[in-house]
Structure 1
Amino acid sequence: MGTRYTYIARHRARGAVRPVAIAIVAIVAALAASSWFLIVRPYRQQMQLDAGGAPSVPASGKAAPAEAAPANLQALDVNQLLNEASKALKAQRYLSPAGNNAFEFYLRVLAKQPDNPVATSALRETFPFAASDAEQAVNSRNFDEAQREIDLLAKADPANYTLTILRSKLDAQRKLANQQEQQAQDQQKAAQLAAQKAATEKQEAAKQAEQLQAQQALAAEQAKTRQQKPAEQPQQAAQPQAQAASADTAGAQDSSAVLLKAVQARYPTAALRTGQGGWVLVGFTVTTDGTTSNVHVIDAQPRHVFDRAATEAIDHYRFKPAMRDGNPVESTSQQKIEFSTGR
């Protein structure tokens, strides 16, 4: 009875082992297939690359120094061109320099043998890496070189959609560069106009300061002359001398209005933008408190361009009022204000 149970137990154990064995076999088969795709196949592709074929993965590491291009490309046969193309691939010279890169060598091979499998396969498999180089040329704004590389890619695969993307990026970068250049020119022009305006304002302020200084010097000289006249006259009787002194004192108390504060006229924006200049002759009344009133345009060239700016400036002028018998009185005056961009 015990022997029978032992037999049954062994039989069941064997039945349980079979699924485990099947699973192990499946795992081994999967590992073998993976080894083929991950180890054996890449190794064969690398061997093909060393023999002059095309790489299936991008080369890593720093590119080797470029070799000199063959002296006479037209005289090279297919095998020599393939050899030069293989050297260019190993040095990662996909599209540059011009005349000494893998794509041009392979295209020359196809020109001699249109159905050459090595050149056809190499151009197809290296296209993504070459397109990356062309994109770098676009991003660095080396537009002429980028256009040359894109044209070279188009000779290898004119229907590749990557070319559409590269051309769009190149066009966008060119437009952006043009916009930035235009903005720089506009900023430079605005800076020049601002500098010219500042120079004009400085010259006008200096001119007005000179005029004010001249007016003050003239007034001081007139006052000094009036004060010296009594001493130059012959001495007479006491009463005539007193009368003359009184008259001289009254004369010294008579004077014209003197400009104390001038205001720079604001240059109209439209005229400044177009570089237009002109002048305005303004008439006005100096009141007894030194302010201006009745400000009006007498003449202007051109009319109605600088009138408002000139009258607004005169409105802010301040004077020492005219004096008569020692008392401030109103007086009329004129002022010509010139506008110039300095061009």
Structure 2
Amino acid sequence: MDTRYSYIAHRRVRGAARPVVIAIVAIVVALAAAAWFLIVRPYREQMQLDAGGVPTVPAAGNTQAATSAAPANLQALDVNQLLDEASKALKQQRYLAPAGNNAFEFYLRVLAKQPGNPVATSALRETFPYAASDAEQAVNSRSFDEAQREIDLLAKADPANFTLTILRSKLDAQRKLADQQQEQAQNQQKAAQLAAEKAAADKAEAAKQAEQQQAQQAQVAEQAKAKQQKVAEQPQSTQPQSTQAATPAAATGQTTGAVLVKRAQANYPTAALRANQSGWVLVGFTVTADGRTSDVHVVDAQPRHVFDRAATEAVSRYRFTPAMRDGNPVESTSQQRIEFSTGH
């Protein structure tokens, strides 16, 4: 029994110690990782930069770093000086830009002076992805000339890299899209200009038609006024229409029509005179056997009910020589048109 209890006690002690061991191992691993990222890795990268190499990742926060001035005479720089300039450009993330003062151009000049230079070759290979990212940003921002220059620079460093195919495709697509948008904007501008010109032409045509219509209306009014004035100036007949149509009786004839012997002037209505209104009235009436008028009425008038009363009153005062039949006076009917004009 004592042996069994002792075994159980040992197992409990080992079970309690296991979490402590795991915690210690985790602390050691964390410290090792921190030492790698905080001490070892920065040290190696700094050594690589000093040797003319490139960092494993872009340095954060350097995208706005001040750009060093380009060397005055690049042709006079030797390999070591070009590597120094390239190292400065890498630190400032000047992979492809500005033109003439970037890491890729410096390394390519090194290879031109010393083909196969390991530092330049390694740097171009390791820096290529970051430089390609800069070129892609130039494409996306539609800086087409700059993007083309950077892609051509990448092609000098690694002409067989598949990334170049992707960048060229994106550049071509962006150029086509920009051309389409520019063409669409031009078409819209042209359509707006045509619409404005059409609206102006329609407005001018409408104004012209309105002017012509006003001129026609004025001409019609002038013609109507001239016609009314002409009618008013014509001398009125001193005989009713029936007597004008009648054949004059011979001296020895026994049948004649009624003959007007006394005419009465119609009074112009005051309201019509003030309104400068003209018109006429056709009056029908009966000439009695004693030469007076009766059954005086309006047959037609223009305008209606304006000059009716003045016309009928005037005809009521007419006097006739009555119509004769077989030598005896008889009644007869007749009509008289009376004109009213302000120019009369």
Task: Judge same fold: TM > 0.5, yes or no.
Answer: yes
Q: Does residue 43 of structure 2 align to residue 53 of structure 1?
A: no
Residue 184 (structure 2) pairs with residue 197 (structure 1): no
Structure 2 CA distance for partners of 1:137 and 1:192, relative to 1, 3 Å: same
Change over 3 Å in CA distance of 1:246–1:24 after alignment to 2:
closer
Distance in 1 (alpha carbons) for counterparts of 2:44 and 2:109: 26
Distance 1:32 1:194, change over 3 A: closer
Deviations 1:175-209 (A, max 9, x none): 10010011111112212222222222222222221
* Residue type at the aligned position of 2:52: G
- Give, in angstroms, the shift of residue 26 of structure 1: 7.4
Distance change in 2, residues 1:234/1:155 (3 Å): same
Q: Which residue identity is paired with 1:212?
A: Q
CA distance in 2, matches of 1:46, 1:60: 15
Give a deviation string over 1:104-139, Cα, whole Å, max 9, x none. 001111112222222122112221211111111101
Partner of 1:335: none
1:169 aligns with: 170
For 2:229, the equivalent position in structure 1 comes to 228
> Unaligned 5+ residue runs, structure 1?
254-343
| 1:71 to 2:72 alignment | yes
How many angstroms does 1:32 deviate by?
A: 8.0
Q: Distance in 1 between matches of 2:72 and 2:158?
A: 28
What secondary structure is seen at the aligned counterpart in 2 of 1:65? coil
Q: Does the CA-based 8 Å contact 1:95-1:102 persist in structure 2?
A: yes
- Map of 1:121 onto structure 2: 122
The amino acid of 1:53's aligned partner reads G
Structure 2: how far apart are the matches of 1:235 and 1:27?
136
Note if contact 1:143-1:170 (Cα within 8 Å) is conserved in structure 2.
Answer: yes
3-state DSSP class of the match of 1:95?
Answer: coil
Aligned amino acid, residue 114 of structure 1:
P
Paired residue secondary structure (1:123): helix
Conserved in 2, the CA contact under 8 Å of 1:63 and 1:92? no
Per the alignment, residue 281 of structure 1 pairs with none
User: Is 60-69 or 174-183 further displaced after alignment?
Assistant: 60-69
Q: How does 1:248-267 map to 2 (within 5 A)?
A: none
Q: Which segments of 5 or more consecutive residues in structure 2 lack a partner in the other structure?
A: 242-262, 266-279, 283-299, 304-344
State the partner residue of 1:266. none
Question: How far does residue 161 in structure 1 lie from its aligned partner after superposition?
Answer: 2.0
Aligned to 1:286: none
- Matched letter for residue 96 of structure 2: L
- State the SS of the aligned residue for 1:66: coil
CA contact (8 A) 1:88 1:100 kept: yes
Structure 1 length normalisation: TM-score? 0.61
Q: How does 1:30-49 map to 2 (within 5 A)?
A: 34=33, 38=37, 39-49=39-49
Verify: 1:215 aligned to 2:216, yes or no. Answer: yes
Shift in alpha-carbon separation, 1:35–1:213, aligned structure 2, 3 A: closer
| Shift in Å, 1:53 | 2.1
Q: Secondary structure at the match of 2:202?
A: helix
When residues 194 and 69 of structure 1 are mapped into structure 2, their CA distance, relative to the original with a 3 A threshold, is same
- On the 8 A contact 1:55/1:122 being kept in 2, the answer is no
For 2:139 and 2:145, the matched residues in 1 are separated by 9
Partner of 2:310: none
Q: Which moved more, 1:94-103 or 1:192-201?
A: 192-201
After superposition, the Cα gap between the structure-2 partners of 1:199 and 1:28, relative to the gap in structure 1 and judged at 3 Å, is: closer
Larger C-alpha radius of gyration, 1 or 2?
2
Provide the rounded CA distance (Å) in 1 between the counterparts of 2:194 and 2:55.
Answer: 60
Aligned to 2:99: 98
Partner residue of 1:315?
A: none
Task: Report how far residue 36 of structure 1 moved.
Answer: 7.3
* Counterpart code for 1:148: R
One-letter amino acid matched to 1:196: E
Matches within 5 A, 1:1-343: 34=33, 38=37, 39-61=39-61, 62-234=63-235, 237=238, 239=240
User: How far 1:101 sits from its partner (Å)?
Assistant: 0.4
| Range 202-211 or range 218-227, more displaced | 202-211
Shift of 1:71: 1.3
1:78, 1:109 within 8 Å by CA — same for their partners in 2? yes
Q: Output the amino acid matched with 1:151.
A: D
- Cα distance in 1 between the residues matched to 2:116 and 2:27: 41
| Deviation of 1:29 (Å) | 8.2
Partners of 1:186 and 1:170 in 2: how far apart? 24
| CA distance 1:235–1:34, shift in 2 (3 Å) | closer
Shift of 1:34: 4.3
- Aligned AA for 2:134? D
Task: Name the Cα RMSD after superposition.
Answer: 3.8
Moved more, 63-72 or 167-176: 63-72
Note closer, same or farther for the CA distance 1:28–1:195 as it changes in structure 2 (3 Å cut): closer
